[in-house]
Structure 1
Amino acid sequence: ADHSMATHPYHLWDTGVTDPFVHGPAIRALLPAVTASPGLLPPERHTLGVLCLLLDETEISISLLGELVNPQWEGAADFHAGTTAADLAFAHLDGGRWADARLGVERLAETFLAGRHTLGPARALAALATVCALTGEAETALRHAAAVLAVTEPAGALATVARAHRAAGLATAALGDHTAAHRHLRALYDAAGAPLHYHLSCYAVADLAAAAALTGRTEEARTVLAHVRAEAGDGASARLRQVLLRATALLAAPADAGGHFREALEDPAGRRWPFERGQVWLEYGEWLRRQRQIADARAALTKAREVFEGLGAGPWASRAEAELRAAGIAVESAPHSALRSLTPQRQRIVRLAAQGLTNREIGERLFLSPRTVGTHLYQVFPALGVSARSQLRDVVEREPGD
């Protein structure tokens, strides 16, 4: 592969990881050409994929890392001792593809719980903790995060520590324990309020602001926000700008918050990180309702609920529903679909089996062994309320909107 020195993947990595905020904008401009260049070797592809994760080029990251460790492949967890599978899961989490994130790390996370305390499995368990927190399994998320922290905090593995605290912060917020959420999120910053992890700490600042506002700690949170702003300078990605504006709105005087929320929602690029965008719609809707702007509040809260329903963010969808009721809207809960509650991989297996394909034929399409296909089907039958393969066609045909 012939890369000029300045655009060689390893050179870009060294530059980007040294300071993603100072060098990020210049590197982002080069990425499309570099990632499309023919003859990239797997280690180069891996390096670029993680760099894209760091710079919030989420879609490129998913495609580069997915070519190395597609969650559908059985050996994916073995590549680079599992670190790549965990990185891909975090990219999937950022991009709102949570079932794929879970699928990519479940087996690897189990090896951590079984005593394999190396970095890949630790990061996988942190990713799984995050998925669980977002999708309504808060207690499981807290257990997983605590297991990760017990190993990574003494070892000083800062990035994984930051991710585990963030997962615990989301889980405790979902449970409505904002004091605990504040404790976990505040652990991402030092005593003076500066980011402990030069990059990841910055992304938690809006969740910290939310917990601070609910527990009367706004003054300290403003100090943290000022540190994060200084760290990011002019180099914040569209994603981090959305996070910073949300934090600013939550910590502003009530009369001033609206403008910051609206500015966060004005940039269409922010939609690429759907959960974080949904949080802005939710809190903007809550603010509008308190300002007695009921029609606008209903519109914003409806938007938030749609985003969260689509992602499967149960606790946040419920909060949007509660706010809609408070704004005088009778909310019908969305019909629960047993098929849609399965992971994307299991949905594909069920659909192919419903078409009459054998386990071997399904396995060939999805890069799985026939035995694994059989195990998946055996496990989904009770969830779908069927006892025989012949009943799957009915399940698929009953599906709304198919």
Structure 2
Amino acid sequence: MERAFCLVVPDELPGSAQIDAGVSTIATGIVYHSGIPAQRERIRPMLAARAGDEGMAAHPFHLWDIGVTDPYLHGNTVRGHLPAVTAAPGLMPTEKHTLGVLCMLLDETETAVSLLGEVVNPQWEDAADFHAGTTAADLALANLDGGRWADARLGVERLADRFLAGQHNLGTVRALAVLATLCALTGDTAAAQRHAAAVLAVTEPACALATTVRARRAAAFAATALGDHAAAHHHLRALFDGSGAPAHYHLSCYAVADHAAAAVLTGHAPQARTALEQVTAEVGDGASPRLRQILLRAAALLAEPAGAGAYFREALEDPAGQRWPFERGQVWLEYGEWLRRQRQIAGARAALTRAREIFEGLGAAPWGARAEAELRAAGVAVESPRHSALRSLTPQRQRIVRLAAQGLTNREIGERLFLSPRTVGTHLYQAFPALGVTSRGQLRDVVEREPGD
């Protein structure tokens, strides 16, 4: 990352010089992915004039440059311009990709999914090839944030396979980080740990800090799912420097509440309070509704017991937080746990029930199990939901299975879903064990047994 930056912004270029828009977009992308402070400080003076440019909204790449370099200082300004610029006719695919990623980083998640989905579609055979797979990986990240986990998995499976086969580039490594996170959140902890370690082995030597942060968070989620809070704290503590400041100026801030949770459970609460103070100072007035919810959750976890409830309630008051369901579910869960410890049983039952519903809907089995255990401790008789093998498949595989159950051939299915017959056959081959069948003829029974079919 350092060599790439030097090629784009050579040392002999004066620090106050204006930089061409096409070059600056590459430079600021490197700054974000590397997270290296010296690179960020070098590029800031070159972009200073753009933050006050009244014509900034006419230039998607200008919005990108200031938004990605200073997402908290300029984030609200950029968000104000995004509705007009993203709706402008005639945007090129590269502009849609750039704006889509910018929307994702600024927590305009639904807009990000819409823009990126116009550029790539996981059902397309070449989805993993556009921009070397980075667009598909970015779409998966946006779907992950927005709670569309099956779509996120569908978008990265092929790219992750390429990484594991030795094809290492920015698209494949980010895809594997997404897959590691999905595996951790859904309870496949061994795969999550394996994938996260593979990502870290590539990104740490390359100084690709943004993806390193994502991989460390995936490893921490896996450790949390296993109840290994010391390991979770180890990974999350690495996202902050010795003074508690965020290691990556943007992404580390989103881990501050998970860091707090692990720190409290391992006796490192003072350390986590310092990190929260540093993150709060870094963010200033530039927090999105999503990040405000995260900061309030962290404050609740680190507060004295009697004062935690006010932070939890404030986090839950903003309906915008529902747009990031897993993080909202974490707040409901920990609020319910706090209420039960305060012997407010009726409130605890309501909060824990809400958390369980969210986690079940997402497929976050370890967190759903934790909510169930808390509900039982609160005196609620809990029945585990009936497992549906068909609905556990990705949306694409469900569609393939349903079409195959109707008697369509692989070629006919492929024509409908824009897939090759070989790809259809691969999906069916991988679906059979999950469905407990050994032949195509058994698929009709599987579909007919499904509730509502």
State how far apart, in whole Å, the 1-side matches of 2:390 and 2:264 are.
39
1:396 aligns with 2:450: no
- The within-5 A match list for 1:142-291 is 142-291=193-342
State how far apart, in whole Å, the 1-side matches of 2:259 and 2:330 are.
13
Counterpart AA for 2:80: A
1:366 paired residue number: 417
Give a deviation string over 1:42-94, Cα, whole Å, max 9, x none. Answer: 11001101101110111111111112121111211111112212111111110
Please say which of residues 305-314 and 390-399 is displaced more in the overlay.
390-399
Counterpart AA for 2:240: Y
Which consecutive unaligned segments of at least 5 residues does structure 2 have? 1-53
1:72 aligns with 2:123: yes
2:355 paired residue number: 304
Offset at 1:112? 1.8
Q: Pick from 132, 149, 153: which aligns with 1:102? A: 153
Equivalent residues of 1:7, 1:30 under 8 A apart: no
State how far apart, in whole Å, the 2-side matches of 1:160 and 1:5 are.
29
Give a deviation string over 1:203-239, Cα, whole Å, max 9, x none. Answer: 0000000001111111110100011111111110010
State how far apart, in whole Å, the 1-side matches of 2:131 and 2:419 are.
21
Q: Pick from 405, 416, 431: which aligns with 1:380? A: 431
State how far apart, in whole Å, the 2-side matches of 1:144 and 1:390 are.
35
State how far apart, in whole Å, the 1-side matches of 2:107 and 2:218 are.
19
- The within-5 A match list for 1:130-145 is 130-145=181-196
State how far apart, in whole Å, the 2-side matches of 1:276 and 1:245 are.
11
Determine helix, strand or coil for the equivalent of 1:22: coil
1:50 aligns with 2:101: yes
Equivalent residues of 2:391, 2:398 under 8 A apart: yes
Please say which of residues 375-384 and 209-218 is displaced more in the overlay.
375-384
Offset at 1:5? 4.6
Offset at 1:4? 5.2
Rg (Cα) greater in structure: 2
Matched positions, count: 400
Q: TM-score, normalised by structure 2?
A: 0.86
Counterpart AA for 1:196: A
Equivalent residues of 2:57, 2:85 under 8 A apart: no
Give a deviation string over 1:282-341, Cα, whole Å, max 9, x none. Answer: 000000000001111011001000000000001000100111111111110000001011
State how far apart, in whole Å, the 2-side matches of 1:397 and 1:262 are.
44
Equivalent residues of 2:404, 2:413 under 8 A apart: yes
Determine helix, strand or coil for the equivalent of 1:56: coil
2:343 paired residue number: 292
State how far apart, in whole Å, the 2-side matches of 1:39 and 1:117 are.
33
Offset at 1:39? 0.4
1:116 paired residue number: 167
Which consecutive unaligned segments of at least 5 residues does structure 1 have? none
Provide the alpha-carbon RMSD of the alignment. 1.4
1:347 paired residue number: 398
Counterpart AA for 1:300: A
State how far apart, in whole Å, the 2-side matches of 1:105 and 1:384 are.
22
Q: Pick from 12, 16, 20: which aligns with 2:63? A: 12
State how far apart, in whole Å, the 2-side matches of 1:353 and 1:113 are.
30
Counterpart AA for 1:207: D
State how far apart, in whole Å, the 2-side matches of 1:5 and 1:185 are.
37
Counterpart AA for 1:12: L
Determine helix, strand or coil for the equivalent of 2:389: coil
Q: TM-score, normalised by structure 1?
A: 0.96
